[in-house]
Structure 1
Amino acid sequence: MALALLIGVSVLTVLVAVHWYLWRRLVKDVSRKGGPWRRTGTVLVWLLPATTVATMIVGRSGAPFAVERVLAWPGYLWLALLLYLTLALLLGELVRPLLLRALPRRPAPVEAPALQGAERSPARGTGGEAPDGAPEAPGAAAPEAARTDRPRDASRRLFVARSVAIGAATLAAGTVTAGAVGVLNGPTTRRVTVTLPRLPRRAHGYRIAVVSDVHLGPILGRAHTRRIVEAINATQPDLVAIVGDLVDGTVADLGPAAEPLTQLRSRHGSFFVTGNHEYFGDARSWIDHLRDLGIHPLENQRRELPGFDLAGVNDVEGERVGEGPDFRAALGDRDPARASVLLAHQPVQIHDAVEWDVGLQLSGHTHGGQLWPGPYLAELANPTVAGLERYGDTQLYVTRGAGTWGPPVRVGAESDITVVTLSSPDA
Structure 2
Amino acid sequence: MPLWAKGGIAVMLLLASQFHLWNRLSSGSVFAPEFPRPIVIAFNWAFGAIVLLAMLQILIDLGVLAASATQHGWVKPPESLRYGAAVLAGVLAAAGVANALRPPLLKDVEVAIRDLPPQFDGYRLIQLTDLHISRLYPEGWTDEIVDRTNSASPDLIVVTGDFIDGSVAMRRVDVEPLRRLRARDGVYAIPGNHEYFFDYASWMRHLTDMGIRMLPNAHAVLTRDGGQIVLAGVTDLSAVDTGDPGPDLDAALQGAPASAPILLLDHQPKRAREAAARNIALQLSGHTHGGMIVGLDRLIALANGGFVSGRYEVGGMTLYVNNGTAMWPGFALRLGRPSELTRFTLRRMR
**Partner deviation per Cα, 1:67-104 (whole Å, 9 max, x = no partner):** 5868644443333111211233344457889xxxxxxx
Partner of 1:332: 254
CA distance in 2, matches of 1:400, 1:375: 11
- CA gap 1:304/1:77 in 2 versus in 1, 3 angstroms: same
CA distance in 1, matches of 2:29, 2:13: 25
Q: Which amino acid aligns with 1:47?
A: L
1:59 aligns with 2:27: yes
Partner of 1:345: 267
Conservation of the 8 A alpha-carbon contact between 1:52 and 1:74? no
TM-fit CA distance, 1:42: 2.6
TM-fit CA distance, 1:363: 0.6
1:207 aligns with 2:124: yes
1:300 aligns with 2:221: no
1:290 aligns with 2:207: yes
CA distance in 2, matches of 1:204, 1:401: 26
Give the structure-2-normalised TM-score: 0.87
Conservation of the 8 A alpha-carbon contact between 1:51 and 1:74? no
CA distance in 1, matches of 2:215, 2:20: 35
Partner of 1:413: 337
CA distance in 2, matches of 1:277, 1:70: 23
Q: Which amino acid aligns with 1:351?
A: R
- CA gap 1:61/1:413 in 2 versus in 1, 3 angstroms: closer
TM-fit CA distance, 1:66: 4.5
- CA gap 1:393/1:65 in 2 versus in 1, 3 angstroms: closer
1:403 aligns with 2:326: yes
Task: Give the counterpart of 2:310 among 387, 390, 400.
Answer: 387
- CA gap 1:67/1:397 in 2 versus in 1, 3 angstroms: closer
**Partner deviation per Cα, 1:252-303 (whole Å, 9 max, x = no partner):** 0011111111121211111110111111111111111112211111121111
Partner of 1:85: 53
Map of 1:218-229 to 2, 5 A cutoff? 218-229=135-146
- Which structure has the bigger radius of gyration? 1
CA distance in 1, matches of 2:105, 2:21: 32
Task: Give the counterpart of 2:281 among 359, 379, 392.
Answer: 359
Mind listing any 5+ residue stretches in structure 2 that lack a counterpart? Answer: 66-75
Q: Which amino acid aligns with 2:209?
A: D
Conservation of the 8 A alpha-carbon contact between 1:65 and 1:253? no
Greater percentage in helix:
1
SS of equivalent residue, structure 2 residue 219: strand
Conservation of the 8 A alpha-carbon contact between 1:52 and 1:72? no
SS of equivalent residue, structure 2 residue 263: strand
- CA gap 1:267/1:94 in 2 versus in 1, 3 angstroms: same
- CA gap 1:70/1:252 in 2 versus in 1, 3 angstroms: farther
Deviates more, 1:206-215 or 1:218-227: 218-227
Conservation of the 8 A alpha-carbon contact between 1:59 and 1:68? no
SS of equivalent residue, structure 1 residue 80: helix
1:37 aligns with 2:14: no
Conservation of the 8 A alpha-carbon contact between 1:361 and 1:394? yes
CA distance in 1, matches of 2:341, 2:251: 28
1:184 aligns with 2:101: yes
Partner of 1:271: 188
Tell me the matched-pair count: 332
SS of equivalent residue, structure 1 residue 311: strand
CA distance in 1, matches of 2:120, 2:11: 62
SS of equivalent residue, structure 2 residue 346: strand
Conservation of the 8 A alpha-carbon contact between 2:23 and 2:33? no
Q: Which amino acid aligns with 1:290?
A: L
Mind listing any 5+ residue stretches in structure 1 that lack a counterpart? Answer: 1-30, 98-156
Partner of 1:256: 173
CA distance in 2, matches of 1:267, 1:285: 27
Partner of 2:112: 195
**Partner deviation per Cα, 1:19-51 (whole Å, 9 max, x = no partner):** xxxxxxxxxxxx14x3x3223223223232234
CA distance in 2, matches of 1:252, 1:281: 10
CA distance in 2, matches of 1:95, 1:352: 43
CA distance in 1, matches of 2:260, 2:281: 10
CA distance in 1, matches of 2:126, 2:149: 7
Q: Which amino acid aligns with 2:263?
A: V
The higher relative CO (CA closer than 8 Å, separation ≥ 6) is in 2
SS of equivalent residue, structure 1 residue 58: helix
